[in-house]
């Protein structure tokens, strides 16, 4: 899921301009001062998150910068009402009470994840998953703001109670410690670029095939680095799921399948083996187009 209004000030990760600002009446304008969302959706700035994110994305793709203008709606109340956003803007010399905030969509939340049941159990005996890494199905294709914390609290309690009721495990699994997080810099940069370009706000079959080919190649080179390989594996599963879902729904938008298809109104579950065979199929189906992209990218 992409958040519509990351604050576009060159920080990584981008701080967010909370959606409550649009709720207060802040307007999205492009560099010409046009409220472009009026022509995108009847609810304009208050359209669903994915619609607003794509509206902004298309303006930026067309070469126009986008701003969130809270001058009239919030104005002098800004610092008190939205202190976090105010501080992020102030840090780069923007006073959002007096000037529009530059914004761009940002990758925000991972809908989907490890398949779990109502108690947070995965298909691996003795392994529970809760929170953003789990796929409970509660978010559909377009998580509503704040539902992830609700999900973490509800399923966290359920999983804890379920674990409590079990006898202690006979053996424990070796955990990788957080300092090992993150792959090799160059590979991670490439993977982020591939995901942004081909598995971003708008996808199509040719681009997804290209992403699958590049991620598979990266994965093969990361065998000695389990954390980086895990990240590549997650990317591969996301791209494979997007390739096989030949429709658009919520945060998943295919320019070659723009409509929502009733037949796809369900979750999909993939193993790594499934994802690799989808990558093979994509290579065969999209071969020439994906190869042309591959050559154009020079990678």
Ligand X SMILES: Cc1cc2nc3c(=O)[nH]c(=O)nc-3n(C[C@H](O)[C@H](O)[C@H](O)COP(=O)(O)OP(=O)(O)OC[C@H]3O[C@@H](n4cnc5c(N)ncnc54)[C@H](O)[C@@H]3O)c2cc1C
Give me the 130-149 binding string for ligand X, x by CB under 6 A, dash otherwise: -xxx-----------xxxxx
Cα–Cα–Cα angle for 254, 215, 213, nearest 5°? 70
Contacting residue, 93, 168, 178, 298, with ligand X by CB under 6 A? 178
Contacting residue, 38, 92, 161, 181, with ligand X by CB under 6 A? 181
Render the burial of 156-187: b for 16+ CB within 10 Å, e for the rest.
Answer: eebbeeeeeeeeeeeeeeeeeeeeeeebeeeb
Residue with tokens 């389990």: 226
49 is catalytic: yes
Q: Is 16 in the site for ligand X (CB under 6 A)?
A: yes
* Helix boundaries (H) for the chain: 20-23, 49-61, 78-81, 83-90, 147-164, 185-198, 205-220, 226-244, 272-297
Smallest distance, ligand X to C-beta of residue 191, A:
17
The burial class, CB within 10 Å (0-12 / 13-18 / 19+), for 103 is buried
Number of residues engaging ligand X in binding (CB under 6 A):
17
CA–CA dist 114, 253 (Å, integer): 22
Q: Is 114 in the site for ligand X (CB under 6 A)?
A: no
Contacting residue, 46, 152, 163, 276, with ligand X by CB under 6 A? 152
**C-beta of 16 vs 68, nearer to ligand X:** 16
Q: Is 160 in the site for ligand X (CB under 6 A)?
A: no
Smallest distance, ligand X to C-beta of residue 225, A:
13
Q: What is the largest CA-CA distance in the chain?
A: 65
**C-beta of 85 vs 242, nearer to ligand X:** 85
Q: Is 109 in the site for ligand X (CB under 6 A)?
A: yes
Task: List residues near ligand X by CB under 6 A.
Answer: 16, 108-109, 131-133, 145-149, 152, 175-178, 181
Residues labelled catalytic: 49
């Amino acid at each position: 899921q992409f958040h519509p209004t990351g604050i576009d000030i060159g920080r990584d990760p981008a701080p967010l301009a909370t959606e409550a600002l649009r709720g207060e009446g802040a307007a999205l304008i492009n560099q010409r001062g046009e409220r472009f969302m009026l022509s995108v959706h009847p609810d304009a700035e208050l359209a669903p998150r994915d619609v607003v994110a794509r509206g902004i994305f298309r303006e930026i793709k067309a070469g126009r910068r986008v701003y969130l203008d809270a001058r009239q709606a919030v104005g002098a109340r800004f610092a008190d009402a939205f202190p976090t956003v105010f501080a992020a803007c102030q840090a780069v010399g923007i006073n959002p009470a007096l000037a529009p905030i530059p914004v761009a969509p940002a990758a925000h939340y991972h809908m989907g994840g490890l398949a779990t049941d109502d108690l947070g159990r995965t298909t691996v005996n003795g392994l529970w998953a809760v929170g953003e890494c789990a796929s409970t199905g509660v978010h559909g294709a377009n998580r509503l703001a704040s539902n992830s914390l609700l999900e973490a609290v509800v399923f966290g309690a359920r999983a804890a109670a379920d674990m409590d009721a079990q006898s202690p495990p006979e053996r424990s699994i070796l955990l990788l410690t957080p300092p090992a997080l993150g792959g090799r810099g160059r590979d991670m940069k490439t993977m982020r670029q591939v995901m942004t370009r081909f598995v971003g706000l708008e996808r199509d079959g040719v681009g997804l095939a290209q992403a699958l080919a590049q991620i598979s190649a990266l994965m093969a080179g990361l065998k000695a680095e389990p954390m980086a390989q895990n990240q590549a594996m997650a990317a591969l599963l996301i791209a494979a799921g997007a390739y096989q879902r030949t429709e658009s729904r919520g945060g998943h938008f295919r320019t070659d399948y723009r409509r929502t298809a009733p037949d796809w109104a369900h979750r999909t579950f993939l193993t790594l083996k499934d994802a690799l065979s989808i990558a093979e199929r994509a290579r065969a189906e999209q071969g020439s187009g994906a190869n042309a992209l591959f050559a154009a990218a020079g990678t």
